[in-house]
Structure 1
Amino acid sequence: MALLEVSNLNVRFGRFQAVSNVDMTVEAGEIVGVVGESGSGKSVTSLALMGLIAQPGKVEASTMSFDGQDLLAMSPRARRRLLGRDIAMIFQEPMTSLNPSYTVGFQIEEVLAVHGLKDRRKRRTRAVELLDLVGIPDAARRLDSYPHQLSGGMNQRVMIAMSVALDPRLLIADEPTTALDVTIQAQILRLLVELQRKQGMGLVFITHDLGVLAEIADRVVVMYAGEVVETARTADLFRAPQHPYTAALLNALPERAVTAGTQIDVGAPRGRLPAIPGVVPGPFDRPKGCLLQPRCRFADQRCVVEHPPLHRLAVGAARCHRPLGPDGLPAFELEGAA
């Protein structure tokens, strides 16, 4: 049984379908990367998993379970007890996620208090331990700092400390390195992977950077316009992407990473980077057939009129009528649903 199992997840805001028919599984101790352009539905999916979609948003799914527990059937109170303790999330912007009116120590201790640690001295001791764990120097003194007194990287470490305070079994990280400089990004990534391995957590890592996932993810889920368009083991996806959108994302990398077994070989930088023409369709200009077809160089008349299902392939799955072969060209045509 998977730690997290989601099937046919749909999120709607009024007439706008933000997420459509998303399937995802995460095993204990596994890192699953979710990648796609802005507007692809990555963050909305994560908020739906956390039960944080507010009105007028509506969440529906055939299955949404955590360790065999039906998340959709839970009462709001039971769901809140689960969040933070067993399932935790790191949000994109630490400066907007942390309350500027309270010290970081108070905010960490509040998490512990809400989940049952009533002894104030023990909460303080645990908060110091957590700041030490995430590499913040002089942790005892830093507890009395306000978010504006810390750097962006320090605040992100505080957010990570809060998210792992109760040793969750599943951690969702929504672009945790956004707005950080490159050296700090590398430190945060290394920290997250170390914590994930140390505690055996399942980790869902949401990003727009395929290069990051090449380094840390076991599997990759590629999203486009609210749908999953491809999923595969990381090495397989980098070696031979089967969806044109995935291939286009990989071709746009400054240095194309190509897997060789479990090793990543980085080729020499190329000239002008190829771009994907057009934009992600908006709420009210979604094409009838394949959502990628206005931007896809392989689109034909079938792509214009018929929306493709997610086909299960020999390696992974792809939402395409004609998945790509090892040469990067359509290899065969598929019929029917997955």
Structure 2
Amino acid sequence: MARRATPPFRADHVGSLLRPAALHEARAAFAARSDGIDAAELTAAEDQAITDAVKLQEDAGLESATDGEFRREQWHSDFLYAIPGIRKGALGAPLPVYRKDGAISWTPNVTEITGKVHLEQPIFGDHFAFLAQTVTTATPKLTVPSPSMAHFRADLSKSPYADVEEFRADVAATYAAEVAALYELGCRYLQFDDTIFAFLNDPAWRANASATGLDPDRQHEINVAVINAALAAKPADMAVTVHMCRGNYRSAWFSSGGYDFVAEGVFGGLKVDGLFLEYDDERSGTFEPLRFVPDDQIVVLGVMTTKTPELESADALKRRVEEAAKYVDIDRLCISPQCGFASTVEGNSLTIGEERAKLERLVATAREIWG
């Protein structure tokens, strides 16, 4: 066994990082407008925060680095609402979000489709360009919401689409154009973040999907087909991974359940280079579904939680890898935190110092396992 020269890496991470206080203050000042700062000053504050975040990742020993998603409010909405034909609608129904000590709520906006979905210019292209010129030792990694997030439960009532299949085909074509544009900008490591695959493992979410007119027994297969269509022309030297998330908002989660319901169709069906899978606690189920992962895919085990500050021991992390290796050859395994540290601007309930300690422990453990 040895270190990996191409992504995903033995010690990797999902993408979002805790925003520093100075960036929170700059965003608040920009929002206030009255005695605040202008757009150029906000961009300068973001640039500095991203520069510091890249250094944190490289100093920790990570071989990939993201911009922490510091220019976004949320992991998905900033991207989705930048796609021509997709509009941020009114607030929908509040959703319960769970913690070990109770529940809170989060209210999403409705995703409205107002025109034919297409791409005019690369989304987050400028984000990637700044990241690429900022890294010194790490591979720049861009994260974007999965195509599933664009077409799952989208409101077509005000759209020109009479056929949902045509809409999904346009979503796939839009993402294919985005992938091609990012490749031209030099992106060689791209991650699709997807909550729907994991949510469909939760019986409560499947029941909810059925109540809204979706087919919970086939939705994961539909999502696989759209992702594969989006990646059909992906260049061979561009690594694309999918992160399957159960929700991440202020240290809370949206769903529970192992990957058993979708594993065969999703693990065996997705034409991607790697899978980031959450395996940080009992909500994740067993490693047994990993038997469906094909031999040409890498599995990044999310064995470290980003939801609490407690630092996992290297021995505990190594035991989890040993369990997973019963189903996937250890040479095709990597490790990461289970999710981002701040999927929304608020972030999870830990400090940047605790975040750094987790990333350092992850790298040190990977070196002990793989050299």
Task: Please confirm whether the aligned pair reaches a TM-score higher than 0.5, indicating the same fold.
Answer: no
Bigger share in strand: 1
Bigger share in helix: 2
Of structures 1 and 2, the one with the larger relative CO (CA 8 A, separation 6+) is: 2
TM-score by length of 1: 0.38
For the pair shown, the structure with the greater C-alpha radius of gyration is 1
TM-score by length of 2: 0.35
